Amino acid sequence: MARITNDGYKVKKKNRVERGGSQIPLIINAFNDKKEIAELTINPLVNADSEEWAPENYIQNAPHFDNEFVFGLEEFIRKQASFYVANGYRIIKKQNDHDVVASLSAKLFCTDTDIKIDKDSLGEMLVSDYFAKFYKVPYDKLAVLGGPCHAEEVALERLSYLSIACQNTDSAKCFANIFRSHFVRTSVTNDVVGVEYASVLKNVYAIVSGICHGLKYGDNFQAILMSNSIIEMNRFINAVKPISRNICDSVYLGDLLVTAYSRFSRNRIFGTMIGKGYSVKTAQVEMEMIAEGYFGTKCIKEINETYKVDMPILDTVYSILYERKSPAATIRKLTESFK
């Protein structure tokens, strides 16, 4: 942690104005070099009984400039899970409405909000389409990261593989070079749509894997479940974007397997809780993490109303999560359709 007494601003007439001597660059270098600086950076023992490191003790509170606020909000939105992104553009358009500012956190973290998104303007839009339309980012500058690459293992510098999807191959290679390291291997593809849909669907299938785990189904059945899941994923992606792709590539199959099997997988944990008898709401509250597959299930279900692909696994997860069907009975019925 760092004790910051000068972040490059000072309070003047209740506004933050720039000043010299910011400690931020020094702190960043200390963190990157993993060094401690006396009175500045340290590995402190923080507990509920100690308020020594409370930031208000060192930085005087004052309203931020509007441009600081907007920049911070836009950066924050870009880092959120995809189902929160859609509200961001509408919030920023209302940045001058001070009545909105007080409730921003609620808007960002609630999908049922009074800042509604016009379905006709958004349609069934992928995140890449959203940034192209509302932020005017050219498609050849938009890249999608996929593959079996849990952040926890990347942080531990364990060997991981990333696939970068971009319509422009040169841009994809540029992004790949940025992310490549001694413990991250990279590859490129132009299948942006396929990678984005695979990234949504693998979370759905991880939830059903967790549900089956909670219901005490064994490894033998999990293998059958994943085999059928990748077949179902392939059917759907080919219906939406019929191009030549190998569904067994790591960005599709590999990502599915690690998300469905890993102990780090939030979606598998969420599904396991459902299989053990937790309600959806209770599981969401107790996890204190986001299981993207919950929202992805409804999203793909609605999109499939157009394509009408046979997706019994997706339908099973939807009926459990949104129609409150019995997990045990619904999974039992699903098993009868497998071979």
CA separation for the pair 306, 239 (Å, rounded): 10
Please identify which of the residues 79, 202, 333, 339 carries the catalytic annotation.
202
DSSP per position, 79-137: TS-HHHHHHHHHHHHTTT-HHHHTTHHHHHT-SS-SS---HHHHSS--HHHHHHHHS--
Q: Hey, what's the torsion of the CAs at 291, 296, 301, 304, to 10 degrees?
A: -150
CB atoms within 10 A of CB 104: 17
Report d(CA 208, CA 169) in Å as an integer: 35
Contact 338, 228 (CB under 8 A): yes
93 among known catalytic residues: no
75 token code pair = 């950066």
Whether 306 and 187 have beta carbons less than 8 Å apart is answered as no
Give the whole-angstrom CA distance, residue 6 versus residue 52.
17
Measure the CA–CA gap between 294 and 299, rounded to whole angstroms: 9
The catalytic residue positions are 202
